[in-house]
Structure 1
Amino acid sequence: MLKNKIVVITGASSGIGLLTARLLSREGAVPILVARSRDKLEEASGSIAGKHEIREMDVTRDDQVKQAMQDILQAHGKIDILLNNAGFGKFQNAVDMPPEEFQRMMDVNYMGTVRCTKAVLPHMLERRSGHIVNVASMAGKIGTAKSTAYTATKHAVLGFSNALRQELRESGIKVSTVNPGPIDTPFFDIADPSGGYVSHVEWLMMKPEHVASKIVQLMKTGREELNLPLKAAAAMRLYQLFPRLSDKLTYRMMNKK
């Protein structure tokens, strides 16, 4: 089902992006790994046995995003799937975090998704085919202390994705979101350098291989939303039904950063 599909993956030099690229390569797809660091991309490339490509690109640069997507389209004639995975987080109280950090996080996590999506959308509309998969987060649905900036970016990604799905409902293009909880990846090297938060959520933390396999499965099925892990997905549904009560009951448990 994924054989010979051209799949562009942002933030693909490590973590979920790289693992997803490996799995896609085994499925016969052609993953195109995109990230800012050429050195990291070349190192990542060495771990993928099947056909693939690497492209250096910064999702915060309009010119680089447009040029990279144009180059891919010229080389392959199509982009079947776009996985918007690039992003980072930093946990800090709102009163202490400089506005520049809010802006930088929004520029990467949200506007990076918007830039990449807009760069491929005209092509997908012309073909009346394509799949846009946006990696959001459980944080986009449940806000917790010290994650005001990160939560806002992922909430924006969810809003963008849900509205875009409605716009494209009759176009032949699918839009999916992936909302994972904590994952054991280098994400926390920046988000939680002290390791304090990680020590409190180890019981909930998922293996990145598991999340990557679920993303590949979603690409096959076209599922509109994937919440991980399942126990967290159930908690999110309860939170959305009773948000204020849930805040009061889970305040101490959820605010461990």
Structure 2
Amino acid sequence: MSDSLRNKVVIVTGASSGIGRSVALESAGRGATVILLARRKDKLERIAAEAHELSGAPAYAFVTDMSESEEIDATFTEIVKVTKHVDYLVNCAGFGQFGNFIEMNRRVITSMFQVNVLGLMYFTRLIGRLMMDQKSGQIVNFGSIAGKVPTVKSAAYSASKAAVIQFSNVLRLELKPFGVKVMTVNPGPVYTNFFNIADKSGHYVENVQKFMLDPDDVAWQVVHYFGSSKRELNLPLSLALAAKLYNLFPTIGDELSIKFASRK
């Protein structure tokens, strides 16, 4: 543990579990004041308490459903009461569900976009204004390798993550004149509760074991790049390479994806 983030304020959405939880605790372990958002009050408060114990700095928990714009507004109002300065925003909130697109429930598709894309964009807009005014800050948005490499039964989820990636690319250009940085993190499969919803059969997890990432390792890398000008972090290296090759050879990439990467 270090004091590299002492007196820095880090906001994390989706902080009650998975990568969000790991980013919150990694930041607190480096001395940051953390502001945590998620839907589950009991888990969120436990993580805030753990973060405070690690950092000795304040840790705030705000119960927020990222699919509800009114809740996002209300939380933002509370955030500006406890801090006037935000150094890092890490948007981890999101979920996915696998299945053939034609057969998917439209409510599930809508909900994915409300949380993964629209909630992220709306909250980023509010925090981004603060960062523009202070002429500093960094926004970290979680996309996914799925937003770069197509696999079957993930059309809606992949589309939502592709939207996050492109949103971040444009936002990076718009905020650069104000000294605000934007980084996209695109992980492959991660050992989290994500697959409890996305892959109830368990088949996909079984087939991608060798690519699975530890959320703590992902969080360490994310926090390591706080303050840097890195525009994109793709994990693991093998899937990052696959994404590059797909762009170069999309026809071959489609065939390989069907054969090897679509085992859901």
Interval containing the TM-score (normalised by the shorter chain)? over 0.9
8 Å CA contact 1:73–1:79 kept in 2: the answer is: no
SS at 1:3 equivalent = coil
Residues 206-225 of structure 1 deviation map (CA, whole Å, 9 limit, x = unaligned): 11111111111121424111
The answer (yes or no) to whether the contact 2:12–2:20 under 8 Å persists in 1 is: yes
Aligned to 1:75: 82
**Is there any run of 5+ residues in structure 2 with no aligned partner, and where?**
none
User: Which of 21, 35, 47 is 2:50 aligned to?
Assistant: 47
Secondary structure of residue in 1 paired with 2:177: coil
Amino acid at match of 2:258: Y
Contact 1:136/1:180 (CA < 8 Å) preserved in 2? Answer: yes
Task: Find 1:243's aligned residue among 241, 250, 256.
Answer: 250
- 1:130–1:172 CA contact under 8 A, matched in 2: yes
1:23 equivalent among 19, 26, 45: 26
- Judge conservation of contact 2:189–2:211 (CA < 8 Å) in 1: yes
1:81 and 1:130 in contact (8 A); partners too? yes
Instruction: Report how many aligned residue pairs link the two structures.
Output: 257
Residues 138, 227 of structure 2: 8 Å contact kept:
no
Q: Does residue 96 of the first structure (1) align with residue 99 of the second (2)?
A: no
Residue 146 (structure 1) shift: 0.4
**Residue 126 in 1 paired to residue 133 in 2?**
yes
Find 2:164's aligned residue among 157, 168, 174: 157
What does residue 207 of structure 1 align with? 214
Please give the per-residue CA displacement for 1:146-188, whole angstroms capped at 9, x wherever unaligned: 0011001000001110011111121100011000000011110
Q: Amino acid of the residue matched to residue 245 of structure 1?
A: I
Displacement of 1:94: 0.7
Contact 2:182–2:231 (CA under 8 A) maintained in structure 1: yes
CA 190–121 in structure 1, closer or farther in 2 if over 3 Å, else same: same
Which runs of at least 4 in structure 1 moved beyond 6 Å after TM superposition? none
TM-score (norm 2): 0.94
CA offset at residue 46 of structure 1? 3.9
Q: Is the 8 A contact 1:140 1:153 kept in 2?
A: yes
**In structure 2, which of residues 108, 120, 123 is the aligned counterpart of residue 113 of structure 1?**
120
Which residue identity does 1:211 align to in structure 2? V
* Distance of 2:68 and 2:155 partners within structure 1: 24
What is the identity, as a one-letter code, of the residue corresponding to 2:40? S
Contact 1:36 1:57 in 2 (8 A): yes
- CA–CA distance in 1 between the matches of 2:171 and 2:12? 19
In the alignment, residue 113 of structure 2 is paired with which amino acid? M
Q: Tell me the secondary structure at the aligned position of residue 237 of structure 1.
A: helix
CA distance in 2, matches of 1:165, 1:18: 25
1:32 paired with 2:41, answer: no
The one-letter amino acid of 1:147's match is: S
- The amino acid across from 2:137 in the alignment is G
Q: CA deviation at 1:2?
A: 2.1
Q: Deviations over 1:69-96 (max 9, x none)?
A: 2221221111111111100000010111
Aligned-pair identity in percent equals 42
User: Please, which runs of 5 or more residues in structure 1 have no aligned partner?
Assistant: none
Q: Give the equivalent residue in structure 1 for 2:175.
A: 168
Tell me, yes or no, if the aligned pair for 1:32 and 1:54 is still in contact at 8 Å.
Answer: yes
2:126 and 2:65 mapped to 1: Cα distance?
A: 13
Q: String of CA shifts for 1:44-91, please: whole Å, max 9, x gaps.
A: 234332232211111112122122122212211111111111000000
How much does 1:119 deviate?
1.3
